[in-house]
Amino acid sequence: MNGTRTLSTRWLLIGQFMAVVALALLVAGALMWHWRLPLAQEQQRLEQRRAAGVALLRVEASLELAERLLAAQAKLLRTAAPHAGPHPALQWSMATEADDGILAVFRIDHRGVVVDSVHATAAPTLTTPTVRSGYDLSNLPIVRRANGQPGLVWSDQYLSPAVGEPVVALAVPLDDGHLIAELSVDRLGNSVAGLQALEGVTLLITDSKGEVVRSPDARDRQYRRNVGHAPLIASARQQGSAYGRLELHGTAYLGHALRMDRIGWIVFAGYPLAVANATTRAAISVTLITAGAAVLAGFALMSLTASAIQRHLMHSVRYAESVAQGQYGDRPARSRITEVARLEQSLEDMAERIRQRERQLRAIIDLGPTVAIQLYEQDTRIVDWNPASERILGFTRQQALGKRPVDLYYTPEQQAQYEALLRELARTGQPYGPFEGQIRTATGELRWIYSTTFPIPGPSPDAPQFVCMDIDITALKRLEEELRVLNASLEEKVEQRTQSLRQANEELQRTLEELRRAQAHLVQADKLAALGSLVAGVAHELNTPIGNALMAVTTLRDRLRVFQQRMREGLRRSDLDSFVEQVTTAETIAERNLHRAADLVTSFKQVAVDQTSSQRREFDLDELVREILLTLQPMFKRTPYQVETDVPAGIRMDGYPGPLGQVLANLVQNALAHGLAGLPTGRILVMARTDGNTLTLTVSDNGRGIPPHLHDRIFEPFFTTRLGQGGSGLGLHIVHNIVTGLLGGRIALDSALGRGTTFRISCPLVAPRDTGTGGVFA
């Protein structure tokens, strides 16, 4: 022993037990004072609030019932026909409501004068009202309040002139006045009688001024006692709810007060203060008795347990002393106490683990193949040197032990820096590194090492030792140099590759420009092809009227030759009349057909101008559709297919008739070339509808339909299913660009195999002024 004062295990455990008991008593007392007692008080407070709430709800229910009955009665009076004497609706209401505390019902005009009235008596029969028609009630509190407020209005209690007892009144507005019902205050106060939730609870009800309506002492109601000055009642009247003490007849009560929203009455429910505090006293007494008994029992049990533990610990102490002296063979008998037995076993395991860890640490130091570990004194002398140090640095263990680094591989400057480093590590206790450095081996070769140095406890607290761990990274350094050279060559290759990619990109740009020019040429060719169809239509349509006119002129020439011959032979009047009639007929036929030809030329001229330009103008959609289909008639002459239109007249548009006609022509030609090709019969329908300022134009056919997997590609440029058969793949692409560009609309496809194809175009009747399109359609 070194003279330090000690305590036996027995008294230490008993002392700790007593401290724990004292702390437990403090905690129990704190919990009792700050948790259990407030919890009991809060529970009592909730019970009182619930009791007050139940009483309040019972009174409020009576008031709400009166509101509903009087509102229903007012509704009947508004819709009922005028009636002499007391109105049957009033008599019905009193017969219905007499058991609900309603003593009298008045119907008054805007001046407060009674129009009808009825009141209840002790018997259920109806009697004549004591306040009859013509009686002025304008000074009643309820009448004064009702005249200033809309909707349902309640009054506080007052003495009724009709029944001669305290009442509260409810007023409902009518078209020509108010309907007023008076409810008995005594019946409202007694409505809470018999409630199970109020058993054992003192209940007090006051009006809005504090006058007692119901009290445990009947004299309070008889003498109209006022408790409005009590702080609890005043607080509840202002805030709607209050909790605290109330003095009644020399007795202090603790409870909850609630305010009724309708009439401002206060309901108080509570217990006498002595009864309220009984719960607190009982909880404190039970806690003290339980704590005292637990302390006595615990002290006795702890004393016995401490003695047993003390005996077993002395056995463990003697065994530990023998182990400290290096005597591992003498093992004491195992204790029956689990913890002490585990302590003895742990002492044996500890000694074995110490020997095992010494062997493991030595093996780690000696057998580590790549980590050189050295152990230094504070003056940098080498204490330990593992085999990896011999392989990396080239010095054997015998050569290194007791030497300093300057004697082996450090220069004087490196030795000075290393000594300064060890002094800093001894001062801070923190590791240094890892860091890279070069060192010369026993053979004179320079090697790169990755080193970390840190302090460890030495033989004494003021003489620490230092461990240095080195990894040879010479090969890694060589690889870094090789990578640096490789990176330099890679940068050069990347630059060369970038130049090649730049040239390839420029070539792609040139190719793209050529493709764009080719696309423009194809679009122009498509326009010329449309113009060729237009010329064919012109020739076909002009052939008939010009042929008719030529036939009329030829006939007229033959008739003129005959007329001249007869003039030489002798002209008769009948011959002259016949010739004049024939000239007139021929002139009429020629003029009519030449006018028809002129109209066709004008129409075709406008279509040609529109087809070859994108000029904006106002036009009639029906005329445009007929002109476009007229130019396409030659395509249908030798086919079994028909083109039908359903375009209402009078649809005026402000836009680009040329591009719109090109869209219509392309869709009709597409239906003829793809949808109906090879079918024995077929029909193409062009239909137009307007919705406000929006046009919906559909071109549909009953042909083959388009496979679903092609729906997403039909508007792509150069996509065609007739490659090499005259199809360029630009028709629907041009249609899509015109609709979404110049026309400012949308185009949708609806098609299925065997069910035909429908293209639906939606665009404004007035095309956008600036569509941002390029010159592809110009």
Report the CATH number at residue 670: 3.30.565.10
Statement to judge: residues 634 and 661 lie in one domain: yes
Using pLDDT thresholds of 50, 70 and 90, give the confidence band for residue 724: very low
Is residue 298 included in any domain, yes or no? no
> What is the per-residue pLDDT for 778?
36
Residue 178 in this model has a pLDDT that exceeds 80? yes
Residue 332 in this model has a pLDDT that exceeds 70? no
* 13 contact partners, CB below 8 Å, separation of at least 6: 302, 305, 306, 309
CA distance 230 to 245: 9
Is residue 25 included in any domain, yes or no? no
Among candidate residues 705, 680, 591, 688, the one with its CA nearest the CA of residue 644: 688
Is residue 702 included in any domain, yes or no? yes
**Rounded mean pLDDT, 382-394:** 85
Statement to judge: residues 570 and 641 lie in one domain: no
Residue at which a domain ends, from 231, 258, 274: 274
Residue 268's region, left for phi above 0, alpha for psi from -120 to 50, else beta, is beta
What torsion do the CA atoms of 420, 422, 427, 432 make, to the nearest 10 degrees?
Answer: 100
Q: Is the dihedral of CA 527, 530, 536, 540 positive or negative?
A: negative
**DSSP category for residue 32:** I
Is residue 133 included in any domain, yes or no? yes
* 404 contact partners, CB below 8 Å, separation of at least 6: 379, 380, 381, 382, 410, 415
> What is the per-residue pLDDT for 683?
92
CA distance 409 to 35: 75
Q: How far apart are the first and last CA of the chain?
A: 114
Q: What is the pTM of this model?
A: 0.37
3-state DSSP call for residue 284? helix
Residue 773 in this model has a pLDDT that exceeds 50? no
Statement to judge: residues 498 and 623 lie in one domain: no
Report which residue type is found at 85. G
Residue 775 in this model has a pLDDT that exceeds 50? no
Q: How would DSSP label each residue in 571-602? A: --HHHHHHHHHHHHHHHHHHHHHHHHHHHHHH
Residue at which a domain ends, from 472, 500, 516: 472
Residues facing residue 700 across a β-bridge = 685, 758
Statement to judge: residues 204 and 229 lie in one domain: yes
- Pairing mode, strands 166-174 and 177-184: antiparallel
CA distance 344 to 352: 13
Highest mean pLDDT among 232-246, 323-337, 526-540, 552-566: 232-246
Tokens 């009429």 correspond to 588
Contact 141, 158 (CB under 8 A): yes
Kindly report the three-state secondary structure assignment for every residue of 503-526. Answer: HHHHHHHHHHHHHHHHHHHHHHHH
Model pLDDT for residues 452-493, shown as the tens digit of each residue: 888 888 777 778 888 888 888 888 888 888 888 888 778 777
Is residue 288 included in any domain, yes or no? no
**DSSP category for residue 312:** H
Is residue 308 included in any domain, yes or no? no
Statement to judge: residues 629 and 770 lie in one domain: yes
Q: What's the CATH code of the domain at 103?
A: 3.30.450.20
> What is the per-residue pLDDT for 97?
46
CA distance 738 to 448: 74
Q: How would DSSP label each residue in 323-385? A: HHTT--S--PPPPSSHHHHHHHHHHHHHHHHHHHHHHHHHHHHHH-SSEEEEEE-TT--EEEE
Statement to judge: residues 500 and 426 lie in one domain: no
Statement to judge: residues 452 and 565 lie in one domain: no
- Within 10 angstroms of residue 400's Cβ, the number of other Cβ atoms is 22
Residue 761 in this model has a pLDDT that exceeds 90? yes
Statement to judge: residues 691 and 748 lie in one domain: yes
Statement to judge: residues 429 and 529 lie in one domain: no
In whole angstroms, how far apart are CA 396 and each of 264, 388, 400, 442, 702? 105, 10, 6, 10, 100
> CA-based angle 453:435:484, to the nearest 5?
155
Using pLDDT thresholds of 50, 70 and 90, give the confidence band for residue 563: confident
Domain that holds residue 216: 47-274
Statement to judge: residues 463 and 493 lie in one domain: no
Using pLDDT thresholds of 50, 70 and 90, give the confidence band for residue 88: low
> CA-based angle 592:596:597, to the nearest 5?
120
Among candidate residues 409, 756, 758, 755, the one with its CA nearest the CA of residue 747: 758
> What is the per-residue pLDDT for 729?
61
CA distance 429 to 448: 26
Is residue 228 included in any domain, yes or no? yes
Report which residue type is found at 517. R
* Domains of the chain: total: 4
Statement to judge: residues 464 and 491 lie in one domain: no
* 684 contact partners, CB below 8 Å, separation of at least 6: 641, 642, 643, 644, 668, 671, 672, 676, 699, 700, 701
> How distant is the alpha carbon of residue 225 from its chain centre?
61
Q: Is the dihedral of CA 194, 199, 202, 206 positive or negative?
A: negative
Residues facing residue 1 across a β-bridge = none
Residue at which a domain ends, from 220, 242, 274: 274
Highest mean pLDDT among 193-207, 612-626, 671-685: 671-685
Instruction: Indicate the average pLDDT of the chain.
Output: 78
CA atoms within 13 A on the CB side of 85: 4
3-state DSSP call for residue 127? coil
> What is the per-residue pLDDT for 747?
93
CA distance 632 to 630: 5
Statement to judge: residues 468 and 493 lie in one domain: no
Using pLDDT thresholds of 50, 70 and 90, give the confidence band for residue 450: confident
Residue 496 in this model has a pLDDT that exceeds 50? yes
Residue 172 in this model has a pLDDT that exceeds 60? yes
Indicate the length of the chain as a whole number: 778
- Helix (H) or strand (E) holding 439, with range, is strand 432-440
| Phi, psi (deg, nearest 5) at residue 374 | -125, 145
Highest mean pLDDT among 219-233, 285-299, 384-398, 637-651: 637-651
In whole angstroms, how far apart are CA 645 and each of 531, 543, 688? 22, 25, 9
